A and B are shown apart, each in its own frame.
Chain A
């Protein structure tokens, strides 16, 4: 800070013209925002389509306006050439089914050099390739980021620090972003106030490379996950209580219990935008040492631009890498309830699905677009396919999801 001031003072004495040219950019405050008005409906009333488990409910046959709609405002304040602040408030469907604005970001950025910055505060959680811009419909080709991958890591912000490192190697721009922090995340709790999942000791690293229209990125994040509900605690207590009669029951409880358990995300992605073509693909592996289980997910999007029109197709898939049932507890007599509880918990985490999505983006104004998208979701038997509140007779098959959005920035 002081050095910069000294440098600025020296510069202003030696080169008045330069200093003057710089002053315009030194201190500035800007306000901007973005939003989406979205409508979505499906062809089933047996389950609800939501973007992730962070939403308490979702769309059925009747048109729903809450799943994709949001409004956000952002303030950028550059105090000096090196120090700036960003604040962002977002109103979207929260865990309590309200559209109450919340502080999405509030962080300071200090540029140590032109290619090395440090940030701290409530910040974008950069876990997947477009995690930090997933809410900005206007900046993305689809109605929403492919839920197959993006519902695996639904959180959008964290509290902590990160470093942004940039290095140019010939024509290739390399970036590195280590980050550390925590992310308390609101989880819907049917019928009452939300619960909070504690995601602590988050440590992650993203490495990126850009060349021409190409971008490639790999990311890794690990954290400690803690989440309790009354019914989960009751189930695990019950399992520990019958350990005398059923060997392995307490061990099973320990393996499912989410108290300071390790969760990791590994992801790799690539994108190309040039001429009329758009390509984006990402692969993500989640490992969770508790009931949530392990998944592998990917998507690939191709778009072809005709002026302001861009039709696109996205293929995506989620595979469960952990078993969705467990036979430790025999489903007999008084143990039937425990056995049923364990298997319902595990089956509920099975979000296996294969999706083919066709859509069209039309940029009808410089700062606004309209999109329509049809997702055909193929759900294997026993999976919820990521749908919420499935009725007992929801047993897979094909579900169609119809969406339309208007995205804007201001």
Chain B
């Protein structure tokens, strides 16, 4: 716990000092999606394949960024409390036990935004600075 707080403070300090606009990411859905806000836990469940529906019951299709993307690592760390290695191990367990497969991956946040803008069941995440009216934010992650 103490370490967590320390690292939180460190991250916050780094954010203030070095990452002006890019420290925040937003989880986005299609504007037609009735969901207005989701908890980090709900988002994590969707991206870890533990749930496949939005709270109202509508199907959810998570769209991830490709491995190695800084935003992806930040998303997993803040929303699912997992570092890239843990994410890899988690999916190894799911895939090699025949249970589920990881979300579809897109090469850039711009493509994620485009895909979410055109699919009512899609959910993705982008840098807050690139949020526009083609998509709807349901969670801001700091």
A binds B: yes
CB-CB < 8 A to B121: which residues of A?
18
Cβ of A132 and Cβ of B122 under 8 Å apart?
no
A130-169 to B contact mask, C-beta < 8 Å, 1/0: 1011011011100000000000000000000000101010
Stretch in B9-17, B19-27, B112-120 with 4+ CB within 8 Å of A: B112-120
Give min CB distance, B74 to chain A, whole Å: 16
Scan A325-368; emit 1 where CB is below 8 A from any B CB, else 0: 00000000000000000000000000000000000000100110
B41 to chain A: which residues have CB within 8 Å? Answer: 171, 212
B51 contacts which of A22, A132, A168 (Cβ < 8 Å)? A168
Q: Is the CB–CB distance between A34 and B96 below 8 Å? A: yes
Does A17 sit at the interface, judged by CB under 8 A?
yes
**Are B92 and A366 neighbours in the complex by a CB distance under 8 Å?**
no
A136–B91 CA distance with the chains assembled, in angstroms? 11
Contact with B along A201-223 (1 / 0, CB 8 A): 00000000010110000000000
B85 near A124 with CB under 8 A, answer: no
Over the window 101-124 of chain B, the binary record of Cβ atoms lying under 8 Å from chain A Cβ atoms (1 yes, 0 no) is: 100100000000001001111100
| Chain A residues with CB below 8 A from B69, complex form | none
A212 to B83 Cα, complex, angstroms: 16
- CB neighbours of A30 from chain B (8 A): 101
B81 touches A275 (CB 8 A): yes
Residues of A with C-beta under 8 A to B118: 17-18, 20-21
B50 to chain A, nearest CB (A): 5
* A140 closest partner in B (C-beta): B93
C-beta contact mask, B23-46 vs A, less than 8 Å → 1, else 0? 000000000000000000110010
Of B50, B95, B98, the residue contacting A107 (CB under 8 A) is B98
A306 nearest in chain B by CB position:
B3
Say yes or no: A21-B115 contact (C-beta < 8 A), given A139-B96, A168-B53.
yes
Q: Are B84 and A366 in contact (CB under 8 A)?
A: yes
* Max count, chain A CB within 10 A of own CB: residue among B41, B51, B85, B122: B85
Q: Which of under 10, 10 to 19, 20 to 34, or 35 or more describes the interface residues of B?
A: 35 or more
Which residues of chain B are near A119, meaning CB under 8 Å? 98
Residues of B within 8 A of A366 (CB): 67, 84-85, 88
> What is the bound-complex CA distance between A133 and B41, given in angstroms?
25
A213–B84 CB distance below 8 A: no
Contact residues in A for B101 (Cβ distance below 8 Å): 30, 76, 78
Contact, CB under 8 Å: A133 / B97: yes
Distance from A164 Cβ to chain B, minimum over Cβ atoms (Å)? 8
Is A276 engaged at the interface, CB distance under 8 Å to the other chain?
yes
Contact of A139 among B50, B51, B83, B93 (CB under 8 A): B93
| B residues in contact with A193, CB < 8 Å | none
Q: Type the 1/0 row for A96-110, where 1 means its CB is closer than 8 Å to any CB of B.
A: 000000000101010
Does A67 interact with chain B (Cβ within 8 Å)? no
Q: Does A308 make an interface contact (CB < 8 A)? A: yes
Chain A: which residue is nearest B39 at the CB level?
A171
The A275-290 residues at the B interface (CB cut-off 8 A) are 275-276
Q: Does A88 contact B (CB under 8 A)?
A: yes
B4 within 8 A of A: yes
Q: Which B residues lie within 8 Å of A173 (CB)? A: 45, 50-51
Q: How far is the CA of A74 from the CA of B95 in the complex (A)?
A: 9
- Assess the B88–A409 pair: CB atoms within 8 A: yes
Contacts A171-B41, A366-B88 given; indicate if A76 touches B119 (C-beta within 8 A). no
CA A34 to CA B3, docked complex, whole Å: 33
With A88-B98, A409-B88 already in contact, 13 other A-B pairs whose C-beta atoms are closer than 8 Å: A17-B119, A21-B115, A21-B122, A34-B92, A74-B96, A107-B98, A115-B52, A123-B98, A132-B98, A171-B41, A173-B51, A274-B81, A275-B81
